């Protein structure tokens, strides 16, 4: 597995350890193949509406600082100046205002100006990590759409990158940005078919199987990943949850216990213990 894939999986594992216990890592199975936008079930989110909504509870000082930074972007006619302002906006939304989705947006704007594979991929993965954590459907579409654009720009620079192809497929698979979910599966399967030892592709396909309710196929793929990468927390978490969804309490407990013994976050360990107890 390439270094960048290891970094992403490590990041995903940390996110899962913190977020998993408050929401499922995999979206519930849906019988509809329509996107939220296509069905009209949810109102599409725009970047402006998202930022405006996040600004509404801010105080005068916070709004004044944001306005100053935003105006600096408009006035700046030097790329390096604009990059610096986007970086400041991203940090402020992330650290002070606690809006990681907006921070990811400005990181993405910074990356587009830098136009390097490294910066584009980093920004895209900020979005993808949040997409895979689940949440509001409209926000999922917005984040996945942003991630897709960044991954596509990175792929123009490195069209042979298997990890970028897999992650682009994941945007379609988990972000509901296409009326044909197979579009995402096919992008990931292309990599898996070319290299059956690519465990990152196998993991994403396994998560796709869970999303579509194909639990036996998911278990087969996830077990293959765990066999090759026994410390892959994302695969282990989802393997345990899949067994639980199937009603196989014994195996669910086994894998939840395996995860519990590998993590050091007290809250996560306790939540896992609660889940294990509920299965006994």
pTM for the full model? 0.79
| Other CB atoms within 10 Å distance of the CB of residue 208 | 25
Which run of H or of E encompasses 206?
helix 199-211
Surface-to-core class of residue 46, CB atoms within 10 Å of its CB (0-12 exposed, 13-18 middle, 19+ buried)? exposed
3-state secondary structure of 236: helix
**Spatial distance between the Cα atoms of 184 and 17, rounded to a whole number of angstroms:** 26
3-state secondary structure of 20: coil
Surface-to-core class of residue 114, CB atoms within 10 Å of its CB (0-12 exposed, 13-18 middle, 19+ buried)? middle
Provide the token pair at 241. Answer: 């949850």
3-state secondary structure of 102: helix
Cα distances from 203 to residues 31, 164, 199, in angstroms, run 22, 14, 6
Provide the token pair at 182. Answer: 């197979």
Beta-sheet strands, E only, within 91-168: none
- pLDDT in 10s for each residue of the chain, 280 residues: 444 344 444 444 444 444 444 344 444 444 344 444 344 455 789 999 999 999 999 999 999 999 999 998 877 568 899 999 999 999 999 999 999 999 999 999 999 999 999 999 999 999 999 998 878 999 999 999 999 999 999 999 999 999 999 999 999 988 989 877 678 888 999 999 999 999 999 999 999 999 889 999 999 999 999 999 999 999 999 999 999 999 999 999 999 999 999 988 888 899 999 999 999 9
User: Quick check: 162 and 194 in contact, CB under 8 A?
Assistant: yes
How many residues belong to the chain? 280
User: Quick check: 15 and 9 in contact, CB under 8 A?
Assistant: no
Q: What is the pLDDT of residue 184?
A: 84
């Amino acid at each position: 597995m390439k270094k960048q894939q290891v970094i992403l999986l490590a990041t995903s594992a940390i996110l899962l350890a913190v977020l998993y216990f408050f929401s499922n890592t995999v979206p519930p199975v849906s019988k509809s193949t329509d996107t939220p936008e296509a069905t009209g079930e949810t109102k599409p989110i725009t970047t402006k509406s998202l930022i405006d909504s996040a600004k509404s509870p801010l105080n005068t000082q916070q709004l004044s600082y944001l306005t100053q930074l935003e105006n600096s972007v408009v006035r700046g006619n030097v790329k390096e100046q604009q990059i610096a302002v986007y970086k400041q906006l991203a940090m402020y939304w992330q650290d002070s205002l606690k809006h990681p989705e907006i921070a990811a947006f400005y990181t993405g704007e910074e990356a587009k100006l830098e136009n390097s594979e490294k910066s584009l991929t980093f920004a895209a993965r900020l979005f993808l990590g949040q997409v895979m954590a689940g949440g509001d459907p409209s926000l999922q579409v917005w984040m996945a759409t942003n991630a897709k654009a960044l991954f596509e720009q990175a792929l123009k620079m490195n069209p042979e990158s298997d990890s970028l192809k897999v992650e682009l497929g994941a945007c379609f698979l988990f972000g509901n940005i296409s009326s044909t979910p197979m579009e995402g599966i096919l992008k990931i399967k292309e990599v898996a078919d070319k290299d059956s030892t690519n465990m990152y592709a196998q993991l994403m396909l396994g998560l796709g199987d869970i999303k579509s309710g194909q639990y036996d196929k998911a278990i087969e793929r996830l077990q293959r990943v765990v066999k090759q990468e026994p410390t892959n927390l994302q695969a282990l978490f989802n393997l345990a949850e899949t067994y639980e969804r199937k009603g196989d309490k014994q195996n669910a407990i086994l894998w939840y216990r395996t995860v519990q013994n590998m993590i050091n976050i007290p809250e996560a360990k306790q939540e896992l213990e609660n889940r294990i107890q509920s299965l006994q």
